[in-house]
Structure 1
Amino acid sequence: MEITMYDKLLQLPLFQGLCQEDFTSILEKVRFEFNKYPAGSCIAQQGKACKQLIFILQGTVYAKSIDNEHGYVLYETFDSPQVIEPYSLFGMFPQYTASYHAQTDISTVSFNKSYVLSELNKYEIFQLNYLNVISNRAQNVYRKLWDTHIGNTAEKITNFLQLRCTKPAGEKTLQIKMEDLATLIDDTRINVSKVLNKFQEEGLIQLKRKEIHIPALEKLIEQYT
């Protein structure tokens, strides 16, 4: 079990570079909780306090972000290995920004926030990895904010998706009214409709009533940014 866990965790950015000796020492001091969840289970809930780091070791999860103020829902799919919102563990609002559900049967390992402060923080490699994860996210979000309403309609739609997605790749589904999307990107409904239909003709998205399915966001980004 330890060999498998060691290999899986070392694939995650937070643990990359740790030697086996350091990892063995961590295992002796940090209480790891192993769990298995059947498909459909909720692992973390949007708006609830983030008090632990949860690692998806096996299986696929999907995130569901609800923006009640602007009337849309965004779904993202993630394969393992994956860590859930390490950037939400600290700060002024240490809450999950999305709900996470098991899309398939999954295996997880988690540990409490207190162990991050008392034990893991002793390892310089872990500190650097954590800082890099948080800094990269902050820098990417800052860069995307500048592009929110810049460019033509296609670029604005693509930037809208990039800004709100955790990762700029993979499968996404956005449930939104076309007029709401037009308002959010400061454009007209007609322009948004034309561009979305063009995306669909190019095989980049699939349109349903009040829903935009993006099989691979990276392909859309590559073509329209």
Structure 2
Amino acid sequence: MENTTDTYAEILLETPIFTGWKKEYLTAFLNQSRYYIRSYKADSLIMIQGSECSYLSLLTEGKVNALLMNDEGKQVIIEDMQAPRAIAPAALFATESRYPVYIQSVTECKIFYIDKAQFEELMHKEEVIMKNFIRLLSDKSIFLSKKINTFALQTLKERLVSYLKNNVEERITQQELANRLGVTRPSLSRVLSELINEGTLSVENRKIFINDKNKRQ
């Protein structure tokens, strides 16, 4: 029967940072490292924007959102994250090592925290871990560039239609959709009405159809 550390190693090997590494190496690393695991209920605020980032945070179970929020409570969902994922990896070694977003659980979830200094030491020793981390940061940079392009260069109508096409199976409320698009609910309702009147969208049994390709939301 495997011990607890072996079990943790198997779980972490599924994350993008440790993929491709040998289980026995990861088990040995964990045996001499400072780490802890926390479980969170759905709708828990896990990380606060601006708080210090002193651990590598790995989502091993569940789903979380990365979001921005102002003092009035307006939210913009930047990213949906499903396990296994690293959470805000770019913040770990930034000049100001602080979380750039809020992290909120969507479902019950577990997060594995590894000491920052020990992870940095590991990267210096293991090329595969360093390459995985660099690749992760590069992918994140490209993702954010596309996100900025969407917000800066597309109209709300274009963003809405694009979102519906790319998320045909998702079931969310109008407020959640507004949060993902970075607009108020009244603005979203107005654009939805315009697209329905134009014939681009239609609604049946509270489901939205994209008429040009008969796709559904």
TM-score, with length taken from structure 1: 0.65
Q: Secondary structure at the match of 1:109?
A: strand
- The 8 Å contact of residues 38 and 111 in structure 2, kept in 1 or not, is answered as yes
Q: Deviations over 1:139-187 (max 9, x none)?
A: 233345445444665334567x7xxxxxxx9777234326778xxxxxx
- Deviations along 1:121-144, whole A, 9 cap, x unmatched? 321111001100111121233345
SS of equivalent residue, structure 2 residue 49: coil
How far 1:23 moved relative to its partner?
1.0
CA displacement at 1:111 relative to structure 2: 1.3
SS of equivalent to 2:143:
helix
1:93 and 1:158 map into 2 onto residues whose CA distance is 37
Counterpart amino acid of residue 111 in structure 2? T
SS in 1 for 2:140: helix
- Residue 80 of structure 1, aligned match among 83, 89, 106: 83
User: 1:212 aligns to what?
Assistant: none
Distance 1:12 1:26 in 2: 16
Q: Which amino acid aligns with 2:203?
A: E
1:15 match: 18
**Which residue of structure 1 aligns with residue 195 of structure 2?**
195
Shift of residue 96 of structure 1? 1.5
In structure 2, distance between residues paired with 1:170 and 1:50: 32
Q: TM-score, normalising length from structure 2? A: 0.67
**How do 1:160-171 residues align onto structure 2 when only pairs under 5 Å count?**
none
Q: Partners in 1 of 2:26 and 2:103 — Cα distance?
A: 27
Gaps of 5+ in 2: 164-168, 210-214
Q: Does 1:136 pair with 2:143? A: no
Q: Give the structure 2 partner of residue 92 of structure 1.
A: 95
Structure 2 counterpart SS, 1:49 = coil
Deviations 1:18-73 (A, max 9, x none): 0123212311332121223344443211121211112222233344421469x841
Q: Of residues 26, 37, 47 in structure 2, which corresponds to 1:44?
A: 47
Moved more, 119-128 or 105-114: 105-114
- Corresponding residue of 1:2: 5
Change in Cα spacing, 1:10 to 1:112, as seen in structure 2 (3 Å) is same
Matches within 5 A, 1:178-189: none
**Aligned: 1:58 with 2:65:** no
Structure 2 residue 180 is the aligned partner of structure 1 residue 177: no
For 1:30 and 1:196, the matched residues in 2 are separated by 57
- Paired amino acid for 2:32: K
Q: Cα deviations across residues 85-122 of structure 1 (Å, max 9, x unaligned)?
A: 11111223432222223444433221121112223432
Q: Is 2:36 aligned against 1:29? A: no
Task: Pick one of 101, 115, 128 that aligns with 2:104.
Answer: 101
Structure 1 CA distance for aligned equivalents of residues 56 and 145 of structure 2: 24
Which is worse superposed, 100-109 or 123-132? Answer: 100-109
1:83 deviates by 2.1
Gaps spanning 5+ residues in structure 1: where? 162-168, 182-188, 206-222
